[in-house]
A = this chain, B = another copy of it.
Amino acid sequence: MSDIEDNIPTIQDIEEAHERILPYIHFTPILTSDTINEFAGAKIWFKCENLQKVGAFKIRGALNAVLLLPPELKEKGVATHSSGNHAQALARAARQNGLNAYIVMPENAPKIKKNAVLGYGAEVFFCKPNLASRESKLKEVVKKTGASVIHPYNDYRVIAGQATAAFELLQEAADLDVIMTPVGGGGLISGTALIAHYISPDTQVIGGEPAGADDAFLSLQAGKIVTKENPSSIADGLLATIGPKTFEIMQKHVAQIITVEEEEIIDSMKMIWERMKIIVEPSAAVPLAALLKNKSQFSGKRIGIILSGGNVDLENLPF
């Protein structure tokens, strides 16, 4: 076991993670839009993780975790429960490295997501769509296979991997006043906050969170993890509850969480599609929605936004 499993990632951990995963990922482009800058009254660099492999930043953390496994554990494969981008990311990361992947998914997960995971060669196990059933099914799978469980965010190896997106952003867009990310389980924002703290300490890290799933906002306010009952949002990648590891980092290094309403998310999503000609999922539009909601706070600033993903059902758009 490497130290990184038990300790908040250091700058070296993140730099090494980047070197480790770089052969397997896209060094994604950073795009800008004069029209959006004008509308926002700020200068925005969009780090396009929607154009990343599997269509989301999640491949970064999954790859780092998979590549850090010792050979005797690699042989037994990896497992997780997820119906979202982490499932695809782990399946792909495993296949790229010759590992078996065992993915527990709720039986009502969209067919398109099941097929994507199967397409990456993972073995899929179905469970009832509730946390207890997911966890017991995962335990059963692990008992049978000996696979290593890779949590989607509450895992320092994953957090170090997610940090590499902002690491690239900060290499190309210097002197950012702010970096904004969406907040779900907190893997992306905590990784982002760590690397900004290490290499660009004057850069504030600010999260955008749907009001209907604002557990991170509430938790930072309360000083302890607060679970949101029945979280709900069109930003379906952001419904997870933050974990102890991501929460601790967020408490130390995240400046602010801004919550946004559903219409604000949809409007920002549409603006990105129309103006930038790229496909982002609702979750990825949440930071821009947060910026536009608090325009005066960001007026004239240099802002990096991580566009987290682009996996969306084209036949079921909200506009």
A interface residues (Cβ-Cβ under 8 A, vs B): 26, 29, 31-32, 34, 50-51, 53, 55, 270, 273-274, 276-280, 310-311, 314-315, 317, 319
Contacts of A311 in B (CB 8 A): 277
Contacts of A34 in B (CB 8 A): 53
Q: Which of B50, B277, B280, B315 contacts A51 (CB 8 A)?
A: B277
- Most chain-B Cβ atoms within 10 A of its Cβ — which of A32, A279, A280, A317? A279
Chain B residue at smallest Cβ distance from A276: B51
* A156–chain B nearest beta-carbon distance, Å: 29
Q: Is the CB of B279 within 8 A of A310?
A: no
Bound-complex Cα distance A18 to B319 (A): 38
Q: Is the CB of B314 within 8 A of A278?
A: no
Q: Is the CB of B270 within 8 A of A50?
A: no
Contacts of A274 in B (CB 8 A): 314
Contacts of A315 in B (CB 8 A): 319
Q: Which 10 A-B pairs have the closest CB atoms?
A: A277-B310, A29-B29, A277-B279, A50-B277, A278-B278, A55-B277, A51-B277, A273-B314, A273-B279, A279-B279
Bound-complex Cα distance A276 to B276 (A): 14
Bound-complex Cα distance A315 to B270 (A): 11
Chain B residue at smallest Cβ distance from A50: B277
Q: Is the CB of B51 within 8 A of A278?
A: yes
Chain B residue at smallest Cβ distance from A51: B277
Chain B residue at smallest Cβ distance from A49: B277
Bound-complex Cα distance A31 to B27 (A): 10
Interchain residue pairs with CB less than 8 A apart (21):
A26-B31, A26-B32, A29-B29, A29-B31, A34-B53, A51-B276, A51-B277, A51-B278, A55-B277, A270-B314, A273-B279, A273-B314, A274-B314, A277-B278, A277-B279, A277-B280, A277-B311, A278-B278, A278-B279, A314-B317, A314-B319
**Other 6 A-B pairs with CB < 8 A, given A29-B29, A31-B51:** A50-B277, A51-B277, A273-B314, A278-B278, A278-B279, A279-B279
* A253–chain B nearest beta-carbon distance, Å: 29
Bound-complex Cα distance A91 to B43 (A): 23
* A256–chain B nearest beta-carbon distance, Å: 29
Contacts of A31 in B (CB 8 A): 26, 29, 51
* A109–chain B nearest beta-carbon distance, Å: 18
